[in-house]
Amino acid sequence: MNKNNLETILIKIFKKKGLNANHAKICSNALINAEQVGAYGHGLSRLKMYCDRIEKKLINPRPNIRIKKISQSITCIDANNSIGFVAADIAIKKAIQNAKKTGIGLVAIKNSGHYGLSGYYAEQAVKKNLITMIYTNAPPAVAPYGSSKSLFGTNPICFGTPSGSKIPFILDTSISMINRGKIRVAARNNKKIPVGVALDKFGNPTTDAKKALQGVQLPIAGFRGSGLAWMVDILSGVLTGSNHAGRVKDPFDNFSGPQNIGHLFITFKTNLFVKNFNSRIKENIKIIKKLPKIRGVKKIMYPGENKYIRYKMNSKKEIKISQIIKKDLEILK
């Protein structure tokens, strides 16, 4: 489907659900970007979920978002159960604004929802020549190390920096072996998931996506991944006044109340300590790219390069819409 046509449809759907035109456009842009970078688990596959939660009054389509200034650098936002895209859009813009004024921007959000890809917001800061770190917690999916019960979310960690070239350095990774969105897409399309990424509810390894959703996802690097998930839960949940310790509600399966997800956005100028950051980061990347390569590797790439290449390729093509998504769009229009 043509991007402009899809955008028109998505805006119409979100406006029909009660969002104003600006908020509807913010949401549609984020979903389309996810499709174009190949992050299908965070794209159109989630559209029906957002609409369902709006209908059940678990997402507020007309939120009274309160922005509290703590200092010139620090801002606290109460999203009033808005859709996460809108809350995050306000937050990254405020973090950028604060950093431009003082050198550092720190923005905490509470009472928000799922906001899609962290890297989408990181890229906005990097385009303003800022370094950024972004954290958000998520519904239970990963068991803390030593436990058999899911409690932590896949809790992504995101870092972005100017690279000295047109391609930004964006590391956006969940602490699980694969993100939960990929498992949901696989479950919906009756496809298998890779070996070694999840256990079923009995603790057995599984490649069945539906059994994985009922079981436990495995963290990266064992107890280290579990520790990173815990860190994100503290930064985005405990610190911001949001749900934490397994209390974030699953947006697909738990309709008992709003998610109350927390986000933390940190941005800062590249010249806080050195005046030649751009030349130093270029040198850093150049040295690493020139390292000897293992067999089968043609090019050493930094985080964000592959996604940028996919985006450039996909932005020239029509967006592929599966039959399942087509049905969603027809029902929701």
DSSP-derived secondary structure for 227-242? HHHHHHHIIIIITTT-
Length reported for the chain: 333
**Tokens linked to 78:** 């109460």
Amino acid sitting at position 110 = K
Q: What is the pLDDT of residue 148?
A: 80
Q: What is the pLDDT of residue 49?
A: 97
pLDDT tens for the chain, 333 residues long, are: 999 999 999 999 999 999 999 999 999 999 999 999 999 999 999 999 999 999 999 999 999 999 999 999 999 999 999 999 999 999 999 999 999 999 999 999 999 999 999 999 999 999 999 999 999 999 999 989 988 889 999 999 999 999 999 999 999 999 999 989 899 989 988 999 999 999 999 989 999 999 999 999 999 988 999 999 999 999 999 999 999 999 999 999 999 999 999 999 999 999 999 999 999 999 999 999 999 999 999 999 999 999 999 999 999 999 999 999 999 999 998
DSSP-derived secondary structure for 26-71? HHHHHHHHHHHTT-GGGTGGGHHHHHHHHHTTSS-SS---EEEE-S
CA distance 325 to 42: 13
Contacts of 162 (CB under 8 A, 6+ apart): 126, 129, 130, 131, 168, 169, 270, 277, 278, 281
Q: What is the pLDDT of residue 282?
A: 98
Which structural domains are found in the chain, ordered by start? Answer: 63-176+220-319 (3.30.1370.60), 179-218 (3.30.60.50)
Judged on CB neighbours under 10 Å (0-12, 13-18, 19+), 13 is buried
In contact, 75 and 68? CB cutoff 8 Å: yes
**Locate tokens 């035109």: which residue?**
21
In contact, 219 and 177? CB cutoff 8 Å: yes
Q: What is the pLDDT of residue 146?
A: 86
CA distance 22 to 75: 22
